[in-house]
Structure 1
Amino acid sequence: MKYLIAGLGNPGNEYLMTRHNIGFMVLDRLAAGKELSFTTERYGDIARLSHRGRKLILLKPSTYMNLSGKAVRYWLQEEKIPVENLLVITDDIALPFGKLRLRTKGSHGGHNGLRNIEELLQTNEYARLRMGIGNDFPKGQQADYVLSPFNDEEQKQLPAILDKAAQAVLSFATIGATQTMNQFNR
């Protein structure tokens, strides 16, 4: 069985450790733990992972956040992966920092990356792992907040959060969304 695991973020060093790039960070952590490296391919950086008889295509789109759907749609088609085997990892300001929430479908919730994926796939019935980044910003400053780096205290906690998210990704591909939700959404 094949899975597409798309971590959302923006390419470029200026976005490297920003809140909006937590999807990239999860995939980087997962790949590093398996001693994999990414190669630049069409519409993104790709790493291929075999885990318990499953093939996972790890995708970090190079299309920028607001056009993530272009890369996701291309790689689903290229690898002949059904949408039910898609997992999108993204930041979420509605969740407290460090909280994970896996869902098998849902609205984009105002997130432009998810909005674009939904538009291009013509469905919102795909799994997404939402990573809480908190919402400690003044009214009207959301864009600045999500494009800012994590503070010192959050950076200390980040490795454990990224490890937990990487475990959730592997769980999704091996035991499925329902059992993974029961285990990681607490």
Structure 2
Amino acid sequence: MKKISLLVISLITMASCQQTQKIGFVDNSKLINEYQEKIDVEAKYKTMIEASNKNTDSLAKAFQAEYQEFQAQAASMPQDKAQARYQQLGQKQQMLQQQIQMSEQQITVESQKEIDSLISKVRKFVKDYGKTNAYDYILGSNDAGSVMYGKEGDDLTDELIKALNDSYKK
């Protein structure tokens, strides 16, 4: 009886040790950088930045022309009028710089919100993918070295990029 009990316990122990966990890993940088939605978001903000830069350049040229015109006339103006105009131009320059800075900051804030939302979306997608495909763990690799080595067969990066991009196209 004792031998049978020991045998049963041994078999149960061996069987429980035989269970393997399904583990995969993903190159975080590659996953995000090759995700089409991120590429589209970057293109959208690149276009916005280029338009903002063109606007900034035109404002700067207009101000520069106005300042040069003032400099040409300043010698023939009374000292007090020249000083007042110089102060007006200084204030105008500060306002233009603030306007440009606010515009740049607005673009930065909007793009960061969109990127943060996109990263959350990718994390949720990977989590759902792991559940759907019976993974116990999906690890993220990055330059900091959270996954130093993984078998190529366990690398899910390309598979997830394809699934993410297919999902985005819908």
Please say whether Structure 1 and Structure 2 have the same fold, judged by a TM-score greater than 0.5.
no
Higher strand share: 1
What is the TM-score with the length of structure 2 in the denominator? Answer: 0.27
Q: Which has the higher helix share?
A: 2
Higher relative CO (Cα under 8 Å, sequence separation at least 6) belongs to 2
The TM-score, its normalising length taken from structure 1, stands at: 0.25
Higher-Rg member (1/2): 2
